[in-house]
Structure 1
Amino acid sequence: MRKGSCCMFTSGVIGAVLLIMGTGFFVSGFFKTLIYNKLKGEITLTEGSKSFATWKNPPTPVYMEFFIFNVTNPDEFLKGEAKPHVTTMGPYTYREYRPKHNVSFVHSGTKVAAYTKKIFVFEPEKSVGDPKIDLVTTVNIPAVAVMNRLKGAGFWVSSGISMYMNSIGTTMFMTHTVQELLWGFKDPLLTRLKTIKPETDEYFGLMLHKNGSNDGEFVYHTGEQNYLDFGRIYTWKGEKMVSFWKTNQSNMINGTDGSSFHPFLTKEERLNVFTPDLCRSIHMRFEKEVELKGIPAYRFTPPRDTLASGKNNPENEGFCVTPKKCLDDGVLDVSVCRKGAVLVCVCVCVCVCVCAFRKIFIILQFILHFPTKPSAKKDTSCAPVSDKVDDQDEKNDTYISMTPVDKS
């Protein structure tokens, strides 16, 4: 009798334990699901949600850092006596404000339209010098752009511009302050060209007219129907694709604008970002786990084939508009959407939720990240501009770092 009672007691205890464990797992799973669904509800671009407020007026400080490659031996290079010697100047840091305005919900509230105004304020304590004083020598971008346009002009127009360029001493290099190079200066060659083509802007700057400007209207998915679509671009300037490139794949507008991504991001995902500065979409892959101010984060970087040439990455063939002038790895010709401007490589670093930086490297015709073969007098391919390429990777890399949210 005692033995039976003991067995019954033991079975009862085991049953109670299993019941408690089962109840615990149920309650735990229930609350995880509840929190998960609550979080999904907050991370949508809907009126009244926390995400919408921070998306509309981002509270996190964003800084844009400019690193400029300065050519120190332009005369020797023009004479063919040496390859260009380049030093890096920077950072010149600007606090960037990006409030969204003209915000309106469209498509029955499943999408939201907005303009993002870009405002830049110089941050001297985060910079290496004064952009109004520091001088930089770089490729004469206006001259190269004009010569590129003159290829289809008549003999008399081309001759007239060439004579004027010689008379004012225009060469392949120019020296200006960092402030002028970034935000604009009146160029004598463009002033002369304006008398022939009145629509020509006689001012040039890599960030000309950018301060206080916007890139046009974006329409975003709110994520209300599917949280994976949070912040994903639906249209830009009323179009679902751009028309700058040769193939539909190259013209696709993929992903977000880089300022936000959907919740519950995993390491296995491919992050797509569309940037008007590059006139195209790029993608990033998980690289490693990092810490930002003590907060764990995932770092995503663009794989090497992102800016690879079409011959090394067939997916990029559409970015070569002129077949006989396809560029080597690491360089993107954005003249198709930049009114004839020469090569500009834009590197973006955005640290979402902690601290954000956008780094722009003005690279002439030479790219550190994609060295190919050594330079030669008749070799026009890209070559390293520094003998110390490897130790600059962390400084010059493009990456996005985000704090992960675990849905498990």
Structure 2
Amino acid sequence: MGCDRNCGLIAGAVIGAVLAVFGGILMPVGDMLIEKTIKKEVVLEEGTIAFKNWVKTGTEVYRQFWIYEVQNPQEVMVNSSNIKVKQRGPYTYRVRYLAKENITQDPEDHTVSFVQPKGAIFEPSLSVGTENDTFTVLNLAVAASAHLYPNAFVQAVLNSLIKKSKSSMFQTRTLKELLWGYKDPFLTLVPYPVPTTVGVFYPYNNTVDGVYKVFNGKDNISKVAIIDTYKGKRSIYAVFESDINLKGIPVYRFVLPSKAFASPVQNPDNHCFCTEKVISKNCTSYGVLDISKCKDGKPVYISLPHFLHASPDVSEPIEGLNPNEEEHRTYLDIEPITGFTLRFAKRLQVNMLVKPARKIEALKSLKRNYLVPILWLNETGTIGDEKAEMFRKQVTGKINLLGLVEMILLSVGVVMFVAFMISYCACRSKTVK
């Protein structure tokens, strides 16, 4: 009888130990098996679920625009006053709805290259007005002319054409014209061949963005879809900020650091963006990046909205700006197991440098340089409810279930082992007595 009882207790303890060991083994082995299963479907190669959704995203991506309307154009032109601006928006377009093209795998560095066809569809229900709303903004052609043609004689010729076309430092344009292009009256009078259509994003529709090169995830799942290069050059990076929950899915939030827009003195990686000593003050100003090389020499600069994280000298001549970390920063919410970006907000501001020009009447009264904000944009995309539910079932649900099974096995096993061993020891001590 005693033997049967002791044998039963030992058997129970052994079973408990086995369960605990099995639960412990299941943790790394199960995680490895699930990761292997997931990895097969999330790498960017023909035939995977990820590739299908990546080529043509099912997530709706919107680009919102806020236009900076100039409130005191005459004061600026005559007295070189601070520029008073007031933002108007949002005006919203749906973008990135076309499938990626020219997709090419590079097995050597585990990347995939592609171009993204451009298209924009206006969304009236998500906008404060129509594409025909008008704004008083900087005259892009006049502002760029002094920068592109510093020669006094050429400027004198251009001045006569600017006056003849009744152009000035500022102009009134519709939203559609400002964004996507308009025939500039001054440029149409230039006697030699020059592009006569001007717009912040002209040309856009029926063109492509890229070439992008992103990691396909075959060698490292955490790098899947992360941009390696854009047009063969260095891309802006993000850094980890916090863990958050997105529709029941744990994600890591990465943000664009202020260092990305730092001066070359603070961040040597930005040395190639310091090309204009007047605006950058011998490369000590920060918060803006010179992209004129990408814009055929036009003095275009990008920054965060409202000159967030910019040095005071950059925003000092502009009144009406209210930089706000929460509203104006860029971030990515990435699911850590698959590396998928489930939500993002890309926020950038487009600015143009305006300099005094002795021979151009529209600019000759200026006594200083201005970095004039034209507009800022917020491009956003969030995983839809249906896809989030599918993601929870296919990825996080399986992992959570496995984790629950592991913990139950481990807990029950340990409890059984300890309980049966205590009972066995107690019985043994009674038998000895």
Q: TM-score, normalised by structure 1?
A: 0.73
Change in 2 beyond 3 A, CA 1:88/1:307: same
Alignment of 1:282 onto 2:215: no
Secondary structure of the residue aligned to 1:282 is coil
1:187 pairs, out of 184, 191, 195, with 184
1:207 to 185, 198, 201: 201
Whether contact under 8 Å (1:141, 1:342) holds in the other structure is no
Of 59-68 and 284-293, deviating more is 284-293
Q: Distance in 2 between matches of 1:234 and 1:372?
A: 29
Query: In the aligned structure 2, how far is the partner of 1:304 from the partner of 1:76?
Result: 33
* Larger relative contact order (CA 8 Å, sep ≥ 6): 2
- 1:395 pairs with 2:327: yes
Are the equivalent residues in 1 in contact too, given 2:68–2:137 (CA < 8 A)?
yes
Matches within 5 A, 1:157-306: 157-193=154-190, 195-196=191-192, 198=193, 200-233=194-227, 241-242=232-233, 253=234, 281-292=235-246, 295-306=249-260
* Cα pair 2:89 2:127 within 8 Å, conserved: yes
For 1:345, the equivalent position in structure 2 comes to 302
Tell me, in whole angstroms, the C-alpha distance in 2 between the residues paired with 1:371 and 1:325. 12
Change (3 A) 1:110 1:173: same
- 1:42 is displaced (CA, Å) by 0.9
Does the CA-based 8 Å contact 1:368-1:385 persist in structure 2?
no
Instruction: Pick from 305, 315, 336 the counterpart of residue 382 of structure 1.
Output: 315
Q: Partner amino acid for 2:257?
A: P
Q: State how far apart, in whole Å, the 1-side matches of 2:228 and 2:40 are.
A: 20
Distance 1:346 1:381 in 2: 10
**Rounded Cα–Cα distance in structure 1 between residues aligned with 2:110 and 2:75:** 59
Q: Deviations over 1:168-193 (max 9, x none)?
A: 33322222111110000111222233
Match of residue 87 from structure 1: 86
Larger Rg: 2
Alpha carbons 1:141, 1:341 under 8 Å: kept: no
Instruction: Give the AA of the match of 1:66.
Output: F
When residues 233 and 300 of structure 1 are mapped into structure 2, their CA distance, relative to the original with a 3 A threshold, is closer
The letter for the 1-side match of 2:56 is N
Pair 127,346 (structure 1): closer, same or farther in 2 beyond 3 Å = farther
Deviation at 1:299, TM superposition (A): 2.7
> Are 2:119 and 1:119 aligned?
yes
**SS at 1:345's partner residue?**
strand
Tell me, yes or no, if the aligned pair for 1:372 and 1:383 is still in contact at 8 Å. no
- 50-59 or 92-101, which deviates more: 92-101
**Quick one: structure 1 residues 27 and 311, their matched pair in 2 at CA, closer, same or farther if it must change by over 3 Å?**
closer
1:307 matched to 2:281? The reply is no
Aligned to 2:134: 135
Segment of structure 1 superposing worse, 184-193 or 215-224: 215-224
The change in CA–CA distance for 1:386 and 1:285 in structure 2 (over 3 A counts) is farther
Q: Structure 1, residues 250-291: CA drift from partner, whole Å, max 9, x if none? A: xxx3xxxxxxxxxxxxxxxxxxxxxxxxxxx21212334445
Mapped partners of 1:171, 1:394: distance in 2 = 36
Contact 2:66–2:90 (CA under 8 A) maintained in structure 1: yes
| Inter-partner Cα distance in structure 1 for 2:255 and 2:300 | 22
Count, aligned residues = 336
Distance apart, 1:27 and its partner CA: 3.3
When normalised by structure 2's length, the TM-score is: 0.69
**What runs of 5+ residues in structure 1 fail to find an aligned partner?**
243-252, 254-280, 348-360, 362-366, 374-379
Deviations 1:192-216 (A, max 9, x none): 33x22x1x21000011111221124
User: What are structure 2's unaligned runs of at least 5 residues?
Assistant: 338-395, 404-433
Q: Is contact 2:57-2:99 (8 Å) kept?
A: yes
Q: Closer, same or farther in 2 for the Cα pair 1:65/1:139, shift >3 Å?
A: same
User: How far apart, in 2, do the equivalents of 1:301 and 1:32 lie?
Assistant: 28
Give the % identical residues.
29
Letter in 2 for 1:169: K
| CA drift at 1:312 | 3.6
How far apart, CA to CA, are the structure 2 residues paired with 1:104 and 1:329? 37
Task: Measure, in 2, the Cα distance between the counterparts of 1:322 and 1:179.
Answer: 31
Match of residue 369 from structure 1: 308
CA-to-partner distance for each residue in 1:82-105, whole Å, 9 max, x for gaps? Answer: 422211111111111141123344
One-letter amino acid of the structure 1 residue matched with residue 331 of structure 2: Y
User: Quick one: which amino acid aligns to residue 208 of structure 2?
Assistant: N
Q: CA deviation at 1:77?
A: 2.4
Report the residue type matching 1:162 in the other structure.
N
Distance 1:148 1:84, change over 3 A: same
1:224, 1:203 → 2: CA distance?
44
Do the aligned residues in 2 keep the contact of 1:186 with 1:204 (CA within 8 Å)? yes
1:73 offset after TM fit, Å?
A: 1.2
CA-CA distance at 1:33 after TM superposition: 1.4
Would you say the 8 A contact 2:287–2:309 is kept in 1?
yes
CA drift of 1:121 comes to: 0.5
Q: Which has the higher helix share?
A: 2
Cα deviation digits, residues 356-381 of structure 1 (max 9, x gap): xxxxx6xxxxx4313544xxxxxx74
Give the secondary structure class of the aligned counterpart of 1:24: helix
Residues 28-37 or 178-187, more deviating: 28-37
